[in-house]
């Protein structure tokens, strides 16, 4: 479940609330990077321009990213034109092309390596369907179902499920594919992607990375892997339905062509009846028909991610998460450790009163597995960290 019953905007601070253990109520950019630094100025300017109406307390990007102002404006324009009987397909197609190109730049691959998808499971299904019977697939225990279920549901595969920390060691000569999320949905742990990639290369296995919980705050170079799938509605701040799949050059034959539709044609508008005569080159041959309004929003959101840069977002997000972890430890709580810095912090064994107290303080969070999960992105500041720690201190005191 999500705190505040799926509420998507944060409310005002509690009257008279004061900062508890941990950081003071100020932007992370000022205290962490030095007041006046270029990074501080970039983050703060973007936050003020793109989130003027968002108050403190939304700590749930790992469930659903908040649309920047430019994205909301682009969607309203498109909806108004549609409602007035003036939908413009050329505008939609421009947004699709801009989104594909921006995602390619963000993940560091040529644009022809990027396919459009609608869901992670659908994109992964293209890979699962093409594997030969008996192929060995290594996945992490408790990884997100959209990555794992296509292999389990396909049947006829040797699906090996191992702890996240043992994925690299589990890859062997018989492994056909290793599939893992760069950051775990349940607890925010970041996989040792370098070790996993090295093991896969050594044994000749292909690599599939789910970047849905990472691309947008964690630099994930897509050309390192055979496949990278990412739904953008979290850290890339897009609407649902803007999903991407990168396919390494030469790996096209390892995906099933059975699900290609008219948009997979080299010229979709000229080749949309009967069997497709000429599939598009590169990854485009795996395109699904894009949900136009989703990509109108995606083009705007991805332009913001590009302007700020993933390294800057990584520094900002991880700084806030680390400040929160420090405050949690000071209160005697033990957040799930991650072998690599993460923008997602999950906390087990909080007092039973914590969820209700957090919700009443207008703090938006998630409950995943047996944890409460908090996540930090562009719109967040140290004030969010301080308010959350204050409430958790109150929960600890009341349970003592």
Q: Are residues 301 and 349 in the same domain?
A: no
Q: Are residues 300 and 157 in the same domain?
A: yes
Q: Are residues 219 and 328 in the same domain?
A: no
Q: Are residues 115 and 219 in the same domain?
A: yes
Of 2-11, 97-106, 389-398, minimum mean pLDDT range: 2-11
Q: Are residues 141 and 270 in the same domain?
A: yes
Q: Are residues 157 and 81 in the same domain?
A: yes
CATH number at residue 330: 3.90.1150.10
Whether residue 264 lies inside any domain: the answer is yes
Q: Global pTM?
A: 0.90
pLDDT tens, position by position, 27-70? 454 445 554 478 888 899 999 999 998 988 999 999 999 999 99
Domain boundary among 268, 289, 308: 308
Whether residue 2 lies inside any domain: the answer is no
Of 71-80, 269-278, 311-320, minimum mean pLDDT range: 269-278
Domain boundary among 308, 341, 360: 308
Q: Are residues 214 and 185 in the same domain?
A: yes
pLDDT at 14 over 80: no
CATH number at residue 227: 3.40.640.10
Whether residue 82 lies inside any domain: the answer is yes
Task: Using a pLDDT cut of 90, give the percent of the chain over it.
Answer: 85
pLDDT at 9 over 60: no
Q: Are residues 251 and 208 in the same domain?
A: yes
Name the residue range of residue 164's domain.
74-308
Q: Total domain count for the chain?
A: 2
Whether residue 138 lies inside any domain: the answer is yes
Whether residue 223 lies inside any domain: the answer is yes
> How does residue 257 score in pLDDT terms, banded at 50, 70 and 90?
confident
Whether residue 54 lies inside any domain: the answer is yes
204 vs 17: which has the higher pLDDT: 204
Domain boundary among 284, 308, 332: 308
Q: What does the H/E/C string look like for the chain?
A: CECCCCCCCCCCCCCCCCCCCCCCCCCHHHHHHCCCCHHHHHHHHHHHHHCCCCCCCECCCCCCCCCCHHHHHHHHHHHHHHHCCCCCHHHHHHHHHHHHHHHHHHHCCCHHHEEEECCHHHHHHHHHHHCCCCCEEEEECCCCHHHHHHHHHHCCCEEEEECHHHHHHHCCCCEEEEEEECECCCCCCECCHHHHHHHHHHHCCEEEEECCCCCCCCCCCHHHCCEEEEECCCCCCCCCCCEEEEECCCCHHHCCCCCCCHHHECCCCCCCCCCCCCECCHHHHHCCCCCHHHHHHHHHHHHHHHHHCHHHHHHHHHHHHHHHHHHHHHCCCCCCCCCCCCCEEEECCCCCCHHHHHHHCCCECEEECCEEEEECCCCCCHHHHHHHHHHHHHHHHHHC
Q: Are residues 105 and 153 in the same domain?
A: yes
Whether residue 21 lies inside any domain: the answer is no
Q: Are residues 168 and 295 in the same domain?
A: yes
Q: Are residues 199 and 82 in the same domain?
A: yes
Q: Are residues 125 and 242 in the same domain?
A: yes
Whether residue 353 lies inside any domain: the answer is yes
pLDDT tens, position by position, 188-240? 999 999 999 999 999 999 999 999 999 999 999 999 999 999 999 999 999 99
């Amino acid at each position: 479940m999500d705190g505040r019953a799926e509420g998507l905007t944060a409310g005002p601070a509690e009257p008279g609330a004061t900062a508890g253990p941990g950081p003071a109520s100020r932007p992370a950019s000022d205290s962490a990077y030095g007041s006046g630094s270029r990074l501080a100025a970039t983050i703060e300017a973007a936050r003020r321009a793109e989130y003027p109406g968002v108050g403190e307390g939304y700590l749930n990007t790992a469930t659903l990213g908040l649309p920047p102002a430019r994205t909301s404006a682009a969607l309203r324009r498109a909806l108004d034109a549609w409602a007035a009987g003036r939908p413009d397909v050329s505008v939609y197609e421009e947004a699709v092309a801009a989104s594909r190109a921006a995602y390619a730049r963000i993940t560091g691959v040529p644009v022809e390596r990027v396919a459009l998808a609608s869901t992670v499971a659908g994109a992964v299904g293209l890979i699962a369907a093409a594997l030969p019977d008996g192929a060995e697939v290594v996945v992490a225990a408790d990884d997100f179902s959209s990555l794992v279920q296509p292999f389990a549901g396909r049947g006829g595969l040797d699906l090996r499920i191992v702890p996240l920390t043992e994925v690299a060691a589990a890859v062997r000569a018989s492994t056909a594919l290793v599939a893992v999320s760069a950051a775990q949905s349940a607890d925010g742990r970041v996989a040792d992607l370098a070790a996993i990639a090295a093991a896969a290369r050594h044994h000749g296995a292909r690599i599939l990375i789910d970047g849905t919980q990472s691309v947008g705050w964690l630099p994930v170079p897509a050309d390192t892997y055979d496949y990278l799938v990412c739904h953008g509605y979290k850290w890339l701040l897009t609407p649902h339905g803007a999903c991407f799949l990168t396919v390494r050059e030469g790996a096209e034959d390892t995906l099933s062509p059975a699900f290609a539709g008219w948009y997979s044609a080299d010229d979709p508008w000229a080749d949309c009846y009967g069997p497709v005569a000429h599939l598009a080159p590169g990854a485009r041959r795996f395109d699904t028909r894009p949900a136009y309004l989703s990509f109108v929003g995606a083009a705007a959101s991805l332009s913001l991610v590009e302007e700020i840069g993933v390294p800057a977002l990584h520094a900002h997000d991880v700084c806030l998460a680390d400040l929160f972890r420090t405050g949690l430890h000071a209160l005697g709580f033990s957040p799930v450790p991650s072998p690599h810095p993460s923008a997602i912090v999950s906390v087990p064994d909080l007092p039973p009163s914590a969820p209700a107290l957090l919700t009443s303080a207008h703090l938006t969070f998630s409950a995943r597995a047996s944890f409460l999960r908090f996540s930090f992105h562009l719109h967040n500041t140290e004030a969010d960290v301080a308010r959350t720690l204050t409430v958790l201190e109150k929960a600890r005191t009341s349970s003592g």
